[in-house]
Amino acid sequence: MAEIQLNSLAHSYSKTPSGPEDYAIRQMSHVWHKGGAYALLGPSGCGKSTMLNIISGLLAPSEGEVLFDNVKVNELSPKDRNIAQVFQFPVIYDSMTVYDNLAFPLRNAGMPKAKIQAKVDEIAAILELGEVLHNKAKNLTADEKQKVSMGRGLVRDDVSAILFDEPLTVIDPQLKWKLRRKLKQIHEQFNITMVYVTHDQLEASTFADKIAVMYEGQIVQFGTPRELFERPNHTFVGYFIGSPGMNLIDVERVSGGVRFDDFTVALSQVQQRATEHSPSQNLKIGIRPEFLHVSNQPSDDTFKCKVKDVEDLGTYKIVSLQLGSQAILARVDEDHEIAGDTVYVGFPPQWLKLYIDEFLVEEQDA
Ligand code: ADP
Ligand code: MG
C-alpha cells in the first residue's frame, strides 16, 4: 500500500481551456495517507471519476504530479502503478468461471497455485460467492457480477491502493448495506489504502474514517464525518452534508456583527475582524437546523419566526420557519412541542458560522 499524493493537479478535457469552468479538476493538492479508508464525496459531474482515473493512470492529467510514497508515477502505466480499480459497472470476463475471474489478477502477478486457491476462497467467502464459484460469469445476476468485479479488486492485498468508483450503484439497497460493511471489514483486515467514490453522504460516512468533499473540481474539505458536520469549511459542505443541510443566509456587515432584513446578528470578535478585513461583499452566516435554538417564548437574542410547517419524522421534527425574507429549517426532538404559529429562534454563538466568499472563517481555537 502507498501514500498517494496529488501535487498542483489540474485536468481539462479540452485542449484549449479558456477558464476554470473548462477544468474537470481545478488546481488542487491532496494527500491520501497510507492505509486509510477514505470516501470521495460529491455531486455528479464534480470530477470524482476524473480524479480516480488520474490516480490509477487511465488518464494523464493536464497539469501536476501524482506521487506514490514520494515517487512520481505520472509516466507509469496503469499496470505498473499496481492499483486495483472497481468501476460502477461490472468489469469481468463473461466466458470464465467466477473462480477464474477472481484468480486472474493473482495468476498475472505470478502467485503460486495453492496460495491463489486460498485467497480466492477467502474473498469468495467474504462476498458470499461460494455457491456460484464454478459457474460461468455470464449466467450471474447483476448483483453477483458486481460482487465478482469487486472481488477482482480485493483479492490482491499487495496493491498500492484500491479505488472504488460508485461500485454499489447497480446493487439492490438491501445488499448495498451488507457489501459496504464487508468492504469496511476487508479494510480492517488488510489495511489497504482505499478510496471510495460516492455521491451519497450516508454511504461515505459508513465506509470512511475521513471524507473528502469535492465540489466543482476541488476538494473543499477533508475531515471526519463529525468535522464536516460541526465545522463545514465551505458553504457547499454545509449544504451537502446533513439532512436537511445547513441554513445559509446572505448578510451585510454592520457594527458588531452582520445584518439581513431588519435583523442584526452578533458575531464573535474573530468573525467581526474577518468581515472588517475582507473587501468581499459575499458574506453568509450558516447554522445547522439541529443547532438552532427554538423556543415558544421570546428572550434576549432571539428572532421571531412564523411557523410554516412541522414535519414529524418519528424521532425528530423538521420545522419550516419564515424569518423575515428567509426560509429556514430547524430540526427538533420528537417531544419538542411547537405551540401556535410563532416561535423564537436563537443562534447559539458556538454554532453560528461565518462564510466569506463561501469559505469558513475559522475561530481561533480551530
Ligand atoms: P463525477 O465522477 O464526479 O460525476 P467526472 O469526473 O465524470 O465527474 O466528470 C467531471 C467533468 O468532466 C464533468 O463536467 C464531465 O462532463 C466532464 N467529463 C468527464 N469525462 C469526460 C470526457 N471523457 N470528455 C470530456 N468531458 C468529460
Ligand atoms: Mg463518476
Q: Where are the domains of the chain?
A: 4-232, 243-365
Helix (H, G, I), strand (E, B) or coil at 82: coil
Atom 14 (ligand 1): residue with closest C-alpha?
Answer: 45
Give the strand order in the sheet containing 247-254.
Answer: 263-266, 257-260, 247-254, 283-287, 353-356, 359-360
CA distance 228 to 215: 14
Distance of CA 286 to the CA centre of its chain: 20
Q: Dihedral through CA 188, CA 146, CA 11, CA 9, nearest 10? A: 10
Residue 170, pLDDT score: 83
Distance 164 CA to ligand 2 centre (A): 10
Nearest ligand to the CA atom of 41? 1
Mutational pocket test of ligand 1: of 9, 13, 88, the residue with most ligand atoms within 8 Å of the beta carbon: 13
Q: What pLDDT is attached to residue 57?
A: 97
Ligand nearest to the CA of 167: 2
3-state secondary structure of 175: helix
How far apart (Å, rounded) are the C-alpha atoms in residues 42 and 197?
8
Atom of ligand 1 nearest to the CA of 165: 2
Averaged over successive runs of 10 residues, the pLDDT of the chain (366 residues) comes to 96 96 97 97 97 98 98 96 94 96 94 96 93 96 93 90 93 86 87 94 93 98 97 98 96 96 95 96 98 95 96 96 97 93 96 98 74
* Distance, CA of 343 to CA of 321 (rounded, Å): 9
How far apart (Å, rounded) are the C-alpha atoms in residues 307 and 204?
Answer: 33
Give 305-359 as a DSSP string.
EEEEEEEE-SSEEEEEEEETTEEEEEEEETT----SSEEEEE--GGG-EEEETTE
- What's the confidence (pLDDT) of residue 24? 98
Instruction: Tell me the CB-side half-sphere exposure of residue 109, using CA atoms within 13 A.
Output: 19
Ligand 1 contacts (CB < 6 A) are 13, 24, 42, 44-50
The dotted CATH code for 4-232 is 3.40.50.300
| pLDDT at 365 (0 to 100) | 55
Ligand showing the shortest atom-to-Cα distance for residue 44? 1
d(CA 329, CA 238): 13
User: What's the fold here for domain 243-365?
Assistant: OB fold (Dihydrolipoamide Acetyltransferase, E2P) (2.40.50)
What residue's CA is closest to ligand 1, atom 13?
Answer: 45
Q: Residue 74's Cα: distance from chain center in Å?
A: 25
Ligand 1 atom at minimum distance from 47 CA: 6
| Cα distance between residue 248 and residue 327, in whole Å | 10
Among protein residues, the one with the nearest Cα to ligand 1's atom 20 is: 50
Q: Is 227 left (phi over 0), alpha (psi -120 to 50) or beta?
A: alpha
| Strand duo 257-260 + 263-266: pairing | antiparallel
Query: Alpha-carbon distance 131 to 113, whole Å?
Result: 21
CA distance 188 to 175: 20
Q: How many residues in total does the chain contain?
A: 366
- Going by DSSP bridges, is the β-strand pair 283-287/353-356 parallel, antiparallel, or unpaired? antiparallel
Q: What is the rounded CA–CA span in Å between residue 126 and residue 120?
A: 10
